[in-house]
Amino acid sequence: MQKLRRKRLDAHSAFPFRDASRRSMAPAELDRPGPKQVVSALRDLITAPHPATMSTKLPAVFRPPANILFAGCLGGLGLLACSRTAPPGDEQPAPGVSAAMGQPGSAKLPEGLTSTDGGAIDAAVDAPPPPPWPGPYFIATRSSAGVYSEAGKSKKTKVGYMRSGGKVPVKAETVEGKGCSKGWFEIVGGGFVCSNYGTTKLDSAKARFTVKQPNWDETLPYKYARNSKNGTPLYKSVPTPAQMKHYESDPKKEAEKKKAESDKKKKAESDKTQPSKSAGADDKKAAARSATAREGSSKDKAPVGSPEKSENTAEPAAASDTPTPLPAGSTAPDAPDAGTVKWWNDPDAEINMLTMRDLAAGADDVLAKRMVKGFYIAIDKTFNWNKRTWYKSTKGLVAPSNRFWVTNASEFHGVVLSEQTQLPLAWVYGWKKHRPTYDIDEETKQIKPLGKLAHFDSVPLTGKTIEIGKKKYVETTEGGWVRSLHLRVTGPGPVPADLLPGERWIDVNLSTQTIVAFVGTKPVWASLISSGKESKIKEKDHRTPRGEWRVRTKHVTTTMDGNGSLAGDMPYSIEDVPYVQYFYRAYALHAAFWHRNYGVRMSHGCINLSPLDAKYLFRFTGPHVPDGWHGSWSKEERPGSRIVVHD
C-alpha cells in the first residue's frame, strides 16, 4: 500500500521570522544584570517619576481605551476580544483612503515573500540599502513622543509615535515649530519629533535607562509573564521589606498563625508542669519525698518546670500587636484589622464584579494597583533585590516574580505560497494530535487506512472532493484523502472590484477561519485565524463584523485592558499585545500568545493570529511603521491596506 507522502515546508526557509537558535523562555533564562547595573537601575526606579505622574499626556490612541473588550474568562481560556466602539480620538478612518491603493508595509519585503516566477513582488526589493547614517540619532526618553509630518503639534499632521527607547536618525539642527520649546528634530526619511521628549546624547543616563525595544528576531517582541494570584501588587518603585509585608500579607492568616503559635506555646508550657503518666507509683513517691526534703532549703526557689518565675528570670517579650511601621514619607493606607478579608484573600470573592477602578483603589506613593489572576505584564528588566527576584514591566512598574510564570509562544505559522505550494491549502485542526488519511478507490469507493497527519500540518489540496456514506473527503496533492471536517481549508472571496494593480490586501474567511494575503490578484501567503465567538444569545454573541475596511492604525505593541462589555465579565489586562492593526472601531488583527487554538473561534471580536503570523502581516501591510517608531497612522497620502472580512 502506498503511504501518503506529505510535503513539509522547511521552517527556516519558508517563513522569515523563525530563529534556529531560539530557546523556550524559562524563568531561569531571564537576563540578570550585574551588581553595578542593579544598583544603578534601582536608583533610577526609585527616583524616576512614574509615567502616570508625568505632565505630558499620552496620545489618545496610545492610551489603552477602557472599553476595548477582549479578554472574557482570561483565567480559564485566556480569550481576547475587542469592543464594538472605537478607541477615544480614533473613531473615523482617514479621509480618502477607501479608494486608494494599499502601500507596502516596509521598504524591503520579508525574506521568502517573492513571486512564483522567482522575481520580486515589489521593485523596492531590488533597491540597494541606504548607506549607514553617520549621526546624530534621537532616542525618546518619555513614555511617548509623537511624530508629525510638519514641525508643529497638530492632530491633522500626526502620523505616528515613538516610545521610550525608540531611536531614529535625525538632522543635526532643530527647527522652530508650534508646541516644542526646544525645537523639532527632522527625522531622516520623513517626520518631525519634539526635542523636549528625548535626547541625542546616547550615552546619557536618560538614554541608558529607557525601556528595552521590541525584539524582532524572537517570536514575541518582549517576554511576557502571567499573574498567578489575585491581588498581586504592582509597585511604583522597589518596596522595602516592611512595605512588602504591609502590602502582601494576609491579615486573617497572620492572626490565625499568631494564635496557632500562642496555643502551641501554652500547650508546651502546660505539658512541662504535668507529671509523666508512665511514671510508676514508686517514682511518684520518691519525687514527693525529694520535694519535701528540699522544701525547707529552697523556699525562695521555684521548682524546675514550675509556672512561677524566679526574680532573676526575665519576662519573655509579648508579641506586639503594633503593625510594622513603614518608612517615613510613605502614605500607605491604614492596615486592615484581622477580621477584615480583602477580595484577593477571599476564595469566595466575586472577582467578576471588580472593575479596573477597584484594582487601583488602594494606590498610594508605593502601590500603583493590584492584579487579577490571568493578567499579563511585558517584562522590560529582571533584577534581584532584598533576596527576591523582581520584574520591571515595560510600563515602568515593579512586580514580584514569584507571583508570575513566563509564557512561551506558539511556533505555528502560515505558508508562503509558490509554484509548488498553491491554493487551496488546508491545515489539520481540532483537539486530537493526529488525524487519519485514506486511500480511496473512486470507482468502488472502498476506503483503506493510509497514514496520519499531525495537528497544524499544512496540506496542499487538488480541489477534488468525494462523498462516501454522508462523509466528505478531500484529495491531497500527494494522492491521499482526508475527511473535510478534520481540515480548515482556505476559501478567499471574490477580488474587490476597484482593486488596483499590485495592491496589497487581506482576505479573511470567517467560515473556514483562514486568512490569505494578496498582491493584486495573486495570493502570496495563507494561514489560520481565531475570530470572535458567535451565539444566538445576544449577550454571548461576539462575532467579528463582516465588511471591507482599511488598516487605520498600527502598533508594534499596545496594552489592552478594561472591565469587559457585559455584566459579570472579568476585568482583563494584557500589557503590550503584539502587532496590532486596527481596521474598524476597536476591532483589530493582532497576535494572541495566551492561546494556541488557531482555526477555532476564540475571541470577543478581534482576529487572533499566531505571533509569527501577526508579525508577518504587520510587515506586509500599510501604513509602514519605520524603524524606531512604535506606531503609525494611515493618511490620505499613505493609506492602510485593505481588509476584507466575509463568511
- Give the three cell numbers for residue 594: 495566551
Domain ranges in the chain with CATH number 2.30.30? 137-199, 413-489
Pairwise CA distance, residues 142 & 162, whole Å: 9
Angle made by CA atoms 62, 404, 225, in degrees to the nearest 5: 40
Name 459's bridge partners.
Answer: 426
Give the strand pairing for 232-235 and 192-194. Answer: unpaired
pLDDT for 263-293, tens place per residue?
777 777 777 776 555 545 555 555 555 555 4
* 128, pLDDT greater than 90: no
Report the pLDDT averaged over residues 339-351: 77
Positions of E strands within 79-170: 137-140, 144-148, 158-163, 167-169
Distance, first Cα to last Cα, the chain: 39
Is 65 in contact with 87 (CB distance < 8 Å)?
Answer: yes
Segment of 240-249, 348-357, 471-480 carrying the highest mean pLDDT: 471-480
Of 3.30.200, 2.30.30, 2.60.40, 1.20.120, which CATH number belongs to 137-199? Answer: 2.30.30
Region 413-489: CATH code: 2.30.30
Contacts of residue 644, defined as CB under 8 A and 6 or more positions apart, other chains included, come to 493, 496, 505, 506, 507, 508, 548
Which residue, among 393, 414, 519, has the nearest Cα to 101 in the 3D structure? Answer: 519
pLDDT for 579-631, tens place per residue?
999 999 999 999 999 999 999 999 989 999 999 999 999 999 999 999 999 99
Q: Is 0.75 surpassed by the pTM of this model? A: no
pLDDT at 533: 94
Which residue, among 443, 390, 314, has the nearest Cα to 33 in the 3D structure? Answer: 390
> Model confidence at 257, in pLDDT bands (50, 70, 90)?
low
Which residue, among 523, 506, 621, has the nearest Cα to 116 in the 3D structure? Answer: 523
Rg (C-alpha) for the chain, rounded Å, is: 32
HEC string for 327-356:
CCCCCCCCCCCCCCCCHHHCCCCCHHHCCH
pLDDT for 77-99, tens place per residue?
334 446 555 443 343 433 333 33
Which residue, among 593, 404, 543, 634, has the nearest Cα to 69 in the 3D structure? Answer: 543
Report the pLDDT averaged over residues 95-107: 35
Amino acid at 72: G
* 244, pLDDT greater than 70: yes
Q: What is the DSSP letter of 178?
A: B
Helix H or strand E encompassing 205: helix 205-208
Report the pLDDT averaged over residues 298-311: 39
pLDDT at 329: 42
Pairwise CA distance, residues 138 & 116, whole Å: 41
Amino acid at 536: K
Report the pLDDT averaged over residues 380-389: 95
* 643, pLDDT greater than 80: yes
Angle made by CA atoms 129, 134, 139, in degrees to the nearest 5: 100
pLDDT at 230: 93
Pairwise CA distance, residues 614 & 623, whole Å: 15
pLDDT at 434: 96
Contacts of residue 27, defined as CB under 8 A and 6 or more positions apart, other chains included, come to 401, 405, 406
Give the strand pairing for 553-562 and 631-633. Answer: antiparallel
What is the phi-psi region of residue 433: left when phi exceeds 0, alpha when psi lies from -120 to 50, beta otherwise? alpha
* 261, pLDDT greater than 80: no
Instruction: Report the share of the chain in percent with pLDDT over 70.
Output: 67
Which residue, among 51, 55, 85, has the nearest Cα to 68 in the 3D structure? Answer: 85
Pairwise CA distance, residues 330 & 505, whole Å: 55
pLDDT at 266: 73
Report the pLDDT averaged over residues 435-441: 97
- Give the three cell numbers for residue 309: 518565675
Q: Is pLDDT larger for residue 148 or for residue 263?
A: 148
Helix H or strand E encompassing 46: helix 35-47
Q: Within a 13 Å sphere around the CA of 423, how many CA atoms are in the beta-carbon half?
A: 19
Name 646's bridge partners.
Answer: 509
Name 573's bridge partners.
Answer: 561
Q: How far from the centroid of its chain's Cα atoms is residue 329's Cα?
A: 34
Pairwise CA distance, residues 158 & 635, whole Å: 9
Segment of 335-339, 505-509, 557-561 carrying the highest mean pLDDT: 505-509
Report the pLDDT averaged over residues 417-423: 95
- Give the three cell numbers for residue 90: 480614533
Burial of 243-253, coded b for 16+ CB within 10 Å and e otherwise, reads bbebbeebbbe
* 7, pLDDT greater than 60: no
Is 13 in contact with 421 (CB distance < 8 Å)?
Answer: no
pLDDT for 156-176, tens place per residue?
999 999 999 999 999 999 999
Report the pLDDT averaged over residues 531-558: 95
Which residue, among 359, 357, 406, has the nearest Cα to 378 in the 3D structure? Answer: 406
Pairwise CA distance, residues 591 & 587, whole Å: 13
> Model confidence at 258, in pLDDT bands (50, 70, 90)?
low
Is 13 in contact with 415 (CB distance < 8 Å)?
Answer: no
Give Dmax (Cα) for the chain: 118
Is 437 in contact with 450 (CB distance < 8 Å)?
Answer: yes
Pairwise CA distance, residues 186 & 168, whole Å: 10
Average pLDDT, the chain: 77
Pairwise CA distance, residues 617 & 469, whole Å: 41
pLDDT for 27-76, tens place per residue?
333 333 444 443 344 344 333 333 333 333 333 332 333 333 333 333 33
Q: What is the DSSP letter of 304?
A: T
> Model confidence at 333, in pLDDT bands (50, 70, 90)?
very low
3-state secondary structure of 643: strand
Burial of 484-509, coded b for 16+ CB within 10 Å and e otherwise, reads bebbbbbbbeeeeeebeeebbbbbbb
Q: Count Cβ atoms below 10 Å from residue 149 Cβ, excluding itself.
A: 18
